[in-house]
Amino acid sequence: MEKEKIEFVKSKVRNIPDFPVKGIQFKDLTTALKDPEAMRIMCDALTELYADKGITKVVGIEARGFIFGAILAERLGAGFVPLRKPGKLPAVTIKKTYTKEYGKDTIEIHKDAISEDDVVLMHDDLLATGGTMVAALDLVQTMNPKKVYVNFICELGFLNGRKLFPADIEVTSLFDFEGE
């Protein structure tokens, strides 16, 4: 993505101090989502990143990962798989409890959501400490897909969440709020 476009999208992201707890500088992407040009730029950039990877399933992490996850699935001709909080999925699930920057959480995925033939793109809006996506990756990898990619709209590089992922997993983000 061109530098000017990156800066435009970044300028649309609102910072919310002390949310959801004191000391957290929350990056609110809803202000970028409501801007049609920023939304188009992000959708186009994400599609371009994965257009030639043979993606068959896109896993969106609840809840903001559903937005671009579903768009990417449609644009890439793939299926969409929601990864949700406990009790939200109706069929048999597998789950993982993990620690994140301000507490513990649990996520679930349908046990039959991914097959060994799938090439999976996992998407969430933001990479901070990495706990949520690493837990999600653990769940997806129990289903033995052919290949897994991990993607975010933005990351907080200074928190070093990227370092938690195995070396064989390609992790991308559209932009970084390094030190911001």
For this structure, is 64 an active site residue? yes
Would you state the structure tokens that stand for residue 66, as one six-digit string?
A: 């559903």
Among 149, 134, 56, CA closest to 100: 134
For this structure, is 101 an active site residue? yes
- Check residue 74 and give its pLDDT: 98
Contacts of 122 (CB under 8 A, 6+ apart): 58, 59, 61, 133, 136, 137, 140, 148, 149, 150, 151
pLDDT digits (tens, 9 = 90+) for 3-12: 999 999 999 9
Would you state the structure tokens that stand for residue 178, as one six-digit string?
A: 């390094």
Question: What gap in Å lies between CA 124 and CA 117, rounded to an integer?
Answer: 23
- Check residue 71 and give its pLDDT: 98
pLDDT digits (tens, 9 = 90+) for 48-92: 999 999 999 999 999 999 999 999 999 999 999 999 999 999 999
Residues paired with residue 82 on neighbouring β-strands, in sequence order: 60
Q: Which of 37, 48, 64, 75 does the annotation list as catalytic?
A: 64
Checking if the pLDDT of 39 tops 70, the result is yes
Q: Which of 2, 101, 155, 180 does the annotation list as catalytic?
A: 101
Tally of CB atoms within 10 A around 147: 15
- Total residue length of the chain: 180
Which residue ranges make up each domain of the chain? 54-176
pLDDT digits (tens, 9 = 90+) for 95-154: 999 987 667 899 999 999 999 999 999 999 999 889 999 999 999 999 999 999 999 999
The secondary structure of 71-93, three-state, reads HHHHHHCCEEEEEECCCCCCCCE
Pick the CATH number of 54-176 from 3.20.20.80, 3.50.50.60, 3.30.470.20, 3.40.50.2020: 3.40.50.2020
- Check residue 21 and give its pLDDT: 84
- Check residue 35 and give its pLDDT: 98
Checking if the pLDDT of 179 tops 80, the result is no
DSSP 8-state symbol, 20: S
